Structure 1
Amino acid sequence: MILAQVLGTVVSTRKDRGLVGLKLMLCRELDATLKPLGNYVVAVDAVGAGTDEVVLVASGSSARLTEASKDKPVDAVITGIVDVVEVGGRDVYSKREGVTA
């Protein structure tokens, strides 16, 4: 899984039938201390994530295993909203407090 931040939504009026009704989000990959990396991905939102939230993104064949994405033409899906990230016994992120490190 990939740790990422939701940057916003992606709207596509013309798309494959398998994508109709799915919410697409633009996500930026993060490192373990929540610093942005240069990788971006458009992911199906399976959990109701919002802009600026830190999320877990599954990719590849694993992305097609959620209820929202099963048998759909997707390569990435948001599978969780992160509450806390702990590295070396220290919280580097708390949803309540934001980045703490």
Structure 2
Amino acid sequence: MRVGKVIGNVWATKKDEGLEGFKLLVIDQINPRTKEHDKTIVAVDAVGAGPGEMVLIVGGSTARFAANQHAPTDATVVGIIDTLEIYEESE
């Protein structure tokens, strides 16, 4: 799983029928340890996430399964993060 922040929406009037009924979100992937931007992706929304929310994203075959097995997706939002804690490494 990866962590990201919802920064926008994608509207597509024509798309693969496997994506019908799904909201598409623009996600800014974030490195949880440094809070720095990693890359920007488009993901299928399976949980009803909204602008500015921190989310959990899955990829690969897990992304297709989370949306539906016929959705042609490489990324699916599967959770909305309430709290994210990173523990410092002890020496």
After TM superposition, is the score higher than 0.5? yes
Give unmatched runs, 5+ long, in structure 2: none
Tell me the secondary structure at the aligned position of residue 13 of structure 1: coil
Partner of 2:41: 41
The C-alpha deviation readout for 1:42-99, integer Å capped at 9, x for no partner, is 0000000000000000011110112x3322111100000001111117xxxxxxxxxx
Give unmatched runs, 5+ long, in structure 1: 90-101
Partner of 1:81: 80
Residue-pair matches, total: 88
Paired residues of 1:27 and 1:40 also in contact (CA < 8 A): yes
Identity %, equivalent residues:
42
Q: What TM-score, normalized by structure 1, do the two folds share? A: 0.80
Paired residues of 2:31 and 2:38 also in contact (CA < 8 A): no
The C-alpha deviation readout for 1:16-39, integer Å capped at 9, x for no partner, is 111111100000011114623140
Runs (4+) off by over 6 Å = none
- C-alpha distance in 2, partners of 1:75/1:82? 20
Paired residues of 1:5 and 1:29 also in contact (CA < 8 A): yes
1:51 is matched by which residue type in structure 2?
Answer: P
* Larger strand share, 1 or 2: 1
Partner of 1:64: 64
Q: CA RMSD, aligned part only?
A: 1.5
Greater CA deviation, 34-43 or 19-28? 34-43
Partner of 1:29: 29
State the structure with bigger RCO (CA 8 A, min sep 6), 1 or 2: 2
Q: What TM-score, normalized by structure 2, do the two folds share? A: 0.88
